[in-house]
Amino acid sequence: MNPRLDPRKWLSFLLSPLDGPLMLLVLALTAYSAVIMVSASPERLGTLAVNTAVAFFVMWVAARIPPQRMMSIALPLYVIGIVLLVAVALFGDVSKGARRWLNIGITRIQPSELMKIAMPLTLAWYFQSREGMIRGRDFLIAISLLLLPVGLIAKQPDLGTAILVTASGFFVLFFAGLTWRLILPVAVVGIVGIASIVAMGDTICQPGVDWPGLREYQKHRVCTLLDPTSDPLGKGFHIIQSTIAIGSGGVVGKGWGNGTQTHLDFLPERHTDFIFAVLTEEFGLVGALILVVIYILLIFRGLFIAAGAPTLFSRLLAGALTLIFFTYALVNMGMVSGILPVVGVPLPFVSYGGTALVTLCLGVGMLMSIQRHRRRVGT
């Protein structure tokens, strides 16, 4: 047999970059997505299949790129991302009151998505270059690198993506050894701020009361979270319907395809941001717990890879990418359950959407690359 046509060699070529446990977990999540999509929005199955194929190909390519090569493209990728975000601010298309998209002729792109990967890459590269001599000022420089794109994204406005980019950068800072003396004051201010908003909600949520630094619709999101019934047919509709769907599912759910909130069109965005409500209505607490267990296993596998990575760059990048998956899941489930404001963060690997799926699979591919090259150096 011609060696070039040997199926075993082709199979080895296709599978060698992939990490088995990670691949199985991602496949389980995408299978979950397909099952729920058949019920929630079957007309989108074709597009979902295409998006998944593209995302898996991106994951496979990323898994073949050595961490050293990733490190070499980190800073150029960051600079390109900043330039594109500035271009969005100056020339971007406005849709639904937000300027998030950039028309490049053949298609429109959302540069903020690039920063979800470029940010941890850049900060991991920066701390790798300072390994053995990291000082307090290095953290200040890193925080400045983080705040620049976050500020540009928040101005679009895109609070959900700004939160995710902030989280991706913070995780690198944390794993790099950010002192608790800097973390605790911010945490205390945040806790006091949240407690103040809850305690004074009836007063500060009145019409005509401006919140410094926030737009009116962002204020409405927080106020609706505190009392969804204040605007049951407007801003509070999403939260009310999603909590009804979750609660009505009970322990084992109403059965696949039998969700009343879903199929009577009470549940908005049921194939994207609120797909978790579809899952819990039809599969109940049991279905939700199975999904949570898959996410926990994914996070543990990612942290295991991070712990065994041979370089500081790889450890920081793997740890940050893993906790990004955690942040996606936590924020989405929190907002659908009425615990957090609705900020437009998808459920990772489950929600319909090509850009987010490609970004997430790119992150998984990077984790696979780190694990693969760890095995090669025998550590």
Give which of 348, 308, 275 is closest to 67, Cα–Cα: 308
User: Which residues is 93 bridged to in the sheet?
Assistant: 101
The number of C-alpha atoms within 13 Å of 154 and in the hemisphere containing its C-beta is: 15
State the pLDDT at residue 5. Answer: 55
Residue type, 230: S
The CB density around residue 240, as the number of other CB atoms within 10 Å, is 17
State the pLDDT at residue 241. Answer: 86
Weakly modelled stretches of the chain, pLDDT under 50: 1-2, 378-379
Angle at 173 between CA 167 and CA 179, to 5 degrees: 120
State the pLDDT at residue 326. Answer: 93
Angle at 90 between CA 86 and CA 96, to 5 degrees: 105
State the pLDDT at residue 378. Answer: 46
Cα gap 118→120, rounded to integer Å = 6
In our burial notation (b when 16+ CB lie closer than 10 A, e otherwise), range 46-71 reads eebeebbeebbebbbebbebebeebb
State the pLDDT at residue 96. Answer: 67
State the pLDDT at residue 375. Answer: 55
Cα gap 193→290, rounded to integer Å = 34
Q: Are the beta carbons of 112 and 153 closer than 8 angstroms?
A: yes
In our burial notation (b when 16+ CB lie closer than 10 A, e otherwise), range 304-319 reads ebbeebebbbbbbbbb
